[in-house]
Amino acid sequence: MNSSSWTDLLSATGSAQGLSLHHVISALLLSFVLCSVIAKLYQLTFQSLSYSRAFVHTLILGGMITCMVMMSLGDSLARGVGVLGALSLIRFRTVVRDPRDMMFLFAAIGLGIACGSGMFAVAVTGCLILSSVIVLLHWAPFATRRRYEAMLRFLVRADNDESRVAVNSVLAECCSAYTLMAMREAVQGDLLEYSYQVRLIDPSYQVDIIKKLEAIDSIAEVNLVMQRTTVEL
C-alpha cells in the first residue's frame, strides 16, 4: 500500500487527534457544571413519587462520561465502531418509568456530547434555554388538568335494590360524571362491591360524598381514593 492510499484510509477512518490537557479539563469541568445545573433543576422541579438521589448523580456522571467518550472518539470511525461494539455488550436493565426523567437524561447526554465535541457555545446556550424552559413549564399552568377524579368503592347488600337508587342520587348530586368500573361478589355473595370512577364537582365534596353514602343503611366500607397524575389506579 503506497503513501497516498494510506493517507486516504486515515482520512476515511479519522486520524487520532491529540487534545491538550487544558482542553480536556475544560470540557470535563464545563460538562460537570452544565449537567449539575440540569440535575439541580430536576431536583427542584421534581413532583413525582419515589425520588432517587442516585438518578440525580446519574445525570451529572452520565454527561461527564459522554463528554469523555466523545473526546476519545474524535473523528475516528474505527474507534466509534469499537465503542459501539463494546456498549452493545452492556445490558441496561434500569427502567425509567417517567418520560420526564428520560428527557432529563437525554439533556445531560446531549450536553456531554456538545462539550466533548468542543462545541462549548452550543452546550452553554442549550443549557440556558433548556433551563428556562424547565422553569417555565414547572410554574406555568400549561397542560394542567383541574379535574377532581377519584376511585369510589363501597359494599352493598345484594338483596337491596333501593340502595342503588339512593347511590345514583348521591353520585348525581356530588359528581359531574361517574362510571361503574367493576362489580363483584363479596362475603360469600351476601354483599356486592361496587367500584366507580367519579369526577367530583368540587374538591370539598370528598367528605360530603362519603358521609352521604355512609348514611344509607345498606352501604358499608365506603372508600374514596383521589387520583393523582403520578399515581396509577
- The rounded distance, in Å, linking the Cα atoms of 112 and 118 is 10
Q: Above 50 in pLDDT, residue 15?
A: no
Give the domain ranges of the chain: 3-139, 148-226
Asked: is 148-226 a CATH 3.40.50.2300 domain? The reply is: no
CA nearest neighbour of 33 among 81, 67, 3: 67
pLDDT higher than threshold 90 for residue 133: yes
Residue 126 pLDDT class (50, 70, 90 cuts): very high
Predicted TM-score (pTM) of the model is: 0.61
| 33-60 burial: b if 16+ Cβ within 10 Å, else e | bbbbbbbebbeeebeeeeeeeebbebbb
Using the predicted structure, report yes or no on whether residue 146 has a pLDDT greater than 60: no
